[in-house]
């Protein structure tokens, strides 16, 4: 059983194995397929048609499946690799080891935001932006520039205390745990972290920055934590809601998996 660890507790070897597997997926083109998939599932509340990846109840199961598929791709390179999570309530500074040169590399430089250190720096030649939504050829960051502070543990706990998974109208206006975790309402958890990192992380092509996976791994863990706190609360809606993925509806683009299939993460991995 795969165990996903806090990135702060990874050994030097574990960090190197993760980074090397990510770079290998990039080299073969498989990494960029994940970016395209994510970018295709960005929607606005006013968009017509099915709502799947974001601004909808299936935000959490959609990303759980997306992360599982990425983790399996990493494991096809190095079987021992698992996704680490970034607990941004603790590691909340640009000087955290997360941003060191032996892991994700540092902040962007002044002016154009270009990341100039670590494995994903443009100058290393191994991290081209093939899927661009902003015309830039290099990874960009502006840590803490657009929003000063990452969410706090108190804010997280306030959202974890909510006892209803989601509510009508099942979008970014909804009350409930999912929308407060996604960040359209309440203290702004998930969305704010994208904005705090800046650069490509604020776009639909956010997986261009490998920190995407560590951020979403923590979001996934918070969903599991919420389930533990509210054992009788269920995924909603249970069904019969047009354009919204119900408990037993299959999710695009996979069409072979439903939220119900993904509720128990311990079938796939555990959190250390
Ligand atoms: Cu996303
Ligand atoms: Cu996200």
* Arithmetic mean of pLDDT over the chain: 97
The answer to whether residue 134 scores a pLDDT higher than 90 is no
Q: How confident is the model at residue 47 (pLDDT cuts 50, 70, 90)?
A: confident
Output the pTM of the full model.
0.98
H or E stretch covering 66:
helix 59-77
pLDDT of residue 59: 98
Distance CA 18, CA 221 (A): 19
Ligand 2 centroid – CA 41 distance (Å)? 11
User: What's the pLDDT score for residue 126?
Assistant: 97
The fold for domain 2-271 equals: di-copper center containing domain from catechol oxidase (1.10.1280)
Report CA(82)–ligand 2 centroid distance (Å).
Answer: 19
pLDDT band (50, 70, 90) for residue 78: very high
Give me ligand 1 centre to Cα 203, in Å. Answer: 9
Query: For residue 63, how far is its CA from the centre of ligand 2 (angstroms)?
Result: 8
Q: Which residues contact 22 (CB under 8 A, 6 or more apart)?
A: 31, 74, 119, 210
Name the closest ligand to CA 216: 2
Cis peptide before 128 (omega within 30 of 0): no
**CA of residue 114 to ligand 2 center, whole Å:** 21
Centre of ligand 2 to C-alpha 188, Å, is 12
Q: Cα of 212 to ligand 2 centre, how many Å?
A: 7
What percent of the chain has pLDDT above 70? 100
- The answer on pLDDT for 1 being more than 90 is no
| Domain chopping of the chain, boundaries | 2-271
* pLDDT band per the 50, 70, 90 thresholds, residue 237: very high
């Amino acid at each position: 059983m795969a165990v996903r660890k806090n990135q702060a507790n990874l050994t030097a070897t574990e960090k190197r194995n993760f980074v090397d597997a990510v770079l290998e997926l990039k080299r073969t083109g498989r990494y960029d397929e994940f970016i395209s998939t994510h970018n295709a599932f960005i929607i606005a509340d006013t968009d017509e048609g099915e709502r799947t990846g974001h601004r909808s109840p299936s935000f959490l199961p959609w990303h759980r499946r997306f992360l599982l598929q990425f983790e399996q791709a990493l494991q096809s390179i190095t079987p021992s690799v698992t996704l680490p999570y970034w607990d941004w309530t603790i590691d909340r500074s640009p000087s955290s080891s997360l941003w060191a040169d032996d892991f994700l590399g540092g902040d962007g430089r002044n002016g154009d935001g270009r990341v100039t250190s670590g494995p994903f720096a443009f100058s290393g030649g191994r991290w081209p932006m093939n899927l661009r939504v902003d015309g830039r050829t290099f990874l960009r960051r502006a840590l803490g520039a657009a929003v000063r502070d990452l969410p706090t543990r108190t804010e997280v706990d306030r959202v974890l205390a909510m006892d209803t998974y989601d509510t009508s109208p099942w979008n970014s206006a909804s009350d409930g745990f999912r929308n407060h975790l996604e960040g359209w309402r309440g203290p702004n958890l998930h969305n704010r972290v994208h904005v705090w990192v800046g650069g490509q992380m604020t776009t639909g092509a956010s997986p261009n920055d490998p920190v995407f996976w560590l951020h979403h791994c923590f979001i996934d863990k918070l969903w599991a934590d919420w389930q533990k706190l509210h054992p009788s609360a269920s995924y909603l809606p249970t069904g019969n809601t047009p354009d919204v993925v119900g408990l037993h509806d299959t999710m695009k683009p996979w069409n072979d998996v439903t939220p119900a299939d993904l509720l128990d993460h311990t079938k796939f991995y555990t959190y250390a």
